[in-house]
């Protein structure tokens, strides 16, 4: 009898960078895929659905529903669309793990739906925990649902905690690459172009997260995520820059022993760990050669230059809907920057201004979160459009 990993997953965000690599892991290790969803890349979604003979498939962009349905009319694959479709993929039957790799706050409701269905989650969608961390973690606890982080830093922290007692954890050391503009000050960042911001030194990723890495918003979101995922107070999370992106994060225990996780900067490792957990099998990445790497450097992040990072830290300290607000404001600002309507520094300025523009709002329910999100998006639109 085949005694590999007998697992079945469902996946939303299947045509993005994380989604495609998730399917590579599934191909390599014979993981079954029963349901898939993508935003708008209909050709690739169709090919994936056929290759994995899925039971259902969803295209988020409702305008493309008819096209997908006719492309798959010779199959028994159930075709869905929109948020309702994403949520039905999230609660598909007989699934061991729901992989959420969509970009943006659109991932929150599918996460809550999977939790409600009692399905464990491999989470690449940061905005889920940023906007709804309290709600998501308390719901997951109630339903005894496990959340496996896919993000490289959180996977590193999760890996470092294996075999140790969570209550003896003193501190999280969250690493950052520093992005393409490390060492620069605001005057040098005034005329940054979209193309410059899109060229990341170490990681190859989608557009939104690459801009977030350039502004350090990405690290701010990860700071908030780390707080929720590991139940660590914000004063016990230290951000350090490791320019080489070899140390993916570390933890410090009560005895001041620090355990870190290293590897080449390739998302395949954390994706595979989240999917195959607790197994460690052959992975299609280069082995790490520390001697080739030579030197690892560490530095403090520049909180004065990178307003998005300091804004996120402030937001989670204030609590309530502030993390949701800075996230939604950033999503809108990044969109406008990619459309070349605002400058690079406008992104950080808008994020930090949103903290003073809004009073405290709760984020106890999905409705609370949606309300704060809507107000935050309007704030950006009123400012620039």
Which two tokens mark 21? 């690599």
Nearer of residues 149 and 348 to Mn ion, judged by Cβ: 149
Q: Minimum Å distance from CB 312 to Mn ion?
A: 13
Q: Minimum Å distance from CB 271 to Mn ion?
A: 12
Which one of 153-161, 238-246, 318-326, 348-356 is the stretch in contact with Mn ion (CB under 5 A)?
Answer: 153-161
Q: Minimum Å distance from CB 325 to Mn ion?
A: 22
Nearer of residues 34 and 152 to Mn ion, judged by Cβ: 152
d(CA 34, CA 272): 18
Q: Minimum Å distance from CB 126 to Mn ion?
A: 8
Nearer of residues 113 and 125 to Mn ion, judged by Cβ: 125
Which one of 151-159, 208-216, 270-278, 353-361 is the stretch in contact with Mn ion (CB under 5 A)?
Answer: 151-159
Nearer of residues 18 and 324 to Mn ion, judged by Cβ: 18
Which two tokens mark 140? 């997951």
Nearer of residues 95 and 157 to Mn ion, judged by Cβ: 157
Count of residues engaged in binding Mn ion, rule: CB under 5 A: 3
Nearer of residues 175 and 350 to Mn ion, judged by Cβ: 175
Which one of 147-155, 252-260, 306-314, 331-339 is the stretch in contact with Mn ion (CB under 5 A)?
Answer: 147-155
Q: Minimum Å distance from CB 151 to Mn ion?
A: 4
Q: Minimum Å distance from CB 222 to Mn ion?
A: 6
Query: Residues 120, 151, 307, 314: which binds Mn ion (CB under 5 A)?
Result: 151
The answer to whether residue 266 forms part of the interface with Mn ion (CB under 5 A) is no
Residues 18-57 binding Mn ion (CB under 5 A) are none
One character per residue 205-244, x = contact with Mn ion (rule: CB under 5 A): ----------------------------------------
Nearer of residues 126 and 171 to Mn ion, judged by Cβ: 126
Q: Which residues are near Mn ion by CB under 5 A?
A: 151-153
């Amino acid at each position: 009898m085949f005694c590999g990993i007998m697992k079945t997953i469902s996946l939303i965000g299947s045509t993005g960078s994380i989604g495609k690599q998730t399917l590579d892991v599934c191909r390599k290790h014979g993981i079954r895929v029963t349901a898939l969803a993508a935003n708008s890349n209909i050709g690739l979604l169709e090919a994936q659905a056929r290759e994995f003979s899925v039971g259902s498939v969803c295209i988020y962009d409702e305008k493309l529903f008819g096209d997908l349905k006719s492309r798959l009319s010779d199959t028994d694959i159930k075709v869905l669309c929109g948020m309702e479709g994403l949520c039905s993929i999230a609660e598909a039957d007989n699934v061991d793990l729901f992989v959420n790799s969509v970009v943006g706050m659109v991932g929150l409701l599918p996460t809550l739906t999977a939790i409600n269905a009692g399905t464990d989650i491999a989470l690449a969608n940061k905005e889920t925990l940023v906007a709804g961390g309290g709600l998501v973690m308390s719901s997951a606890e109630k339903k005894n649902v496990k959340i496996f982080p896919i993000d490289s830093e959180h996977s590193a922290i999760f890996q470092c905690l294996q075999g140790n007692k969570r209550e003896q954890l003193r501190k999280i050391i969250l690493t950052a690459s520093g992005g393409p503009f490390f060492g620069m000050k605001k005057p040098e960042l005034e005329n940054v172009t979209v193309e410059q911001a899109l060229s990341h030194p170490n990681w190859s990723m989608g557009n939104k997260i690459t801009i977030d890495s350039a502004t350090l918003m990405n690290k701010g979101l990860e700071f908030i995520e780390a707080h929720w995922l590991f139940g660590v107070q914000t004063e016990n999370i230290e951000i350090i820059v490791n320019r080489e992106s070899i140390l993916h994060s570390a933890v410090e225990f009560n005895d001041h022993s620090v355990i870190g996780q290293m590897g080449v900067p390739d998302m395949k490792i954390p994706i595979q760990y989240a999917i195959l957990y607790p197994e460690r099998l052959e992975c299609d990445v280069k082995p790490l050669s520390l001697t080739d790497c030579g030197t690892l450097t560490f530095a403090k992040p520049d909180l004065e230059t990178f307003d998005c990072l300091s804004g996120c830290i402030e937001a989670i300290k204030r609590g309530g809907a502030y993390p949701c607000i800075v996230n939604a404001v950033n999503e809108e600002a990044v969109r406008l920057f990619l459309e070349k309507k605002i400058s690079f520094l406008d992104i950080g300025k808008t994020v930090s201004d949103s903290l003073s523009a809004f009073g405290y709002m709760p984020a106890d329910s999905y409705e609370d979160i949606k309300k704060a999100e809507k107000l935050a998006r309007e704030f950006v639109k009123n400012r620039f459009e």
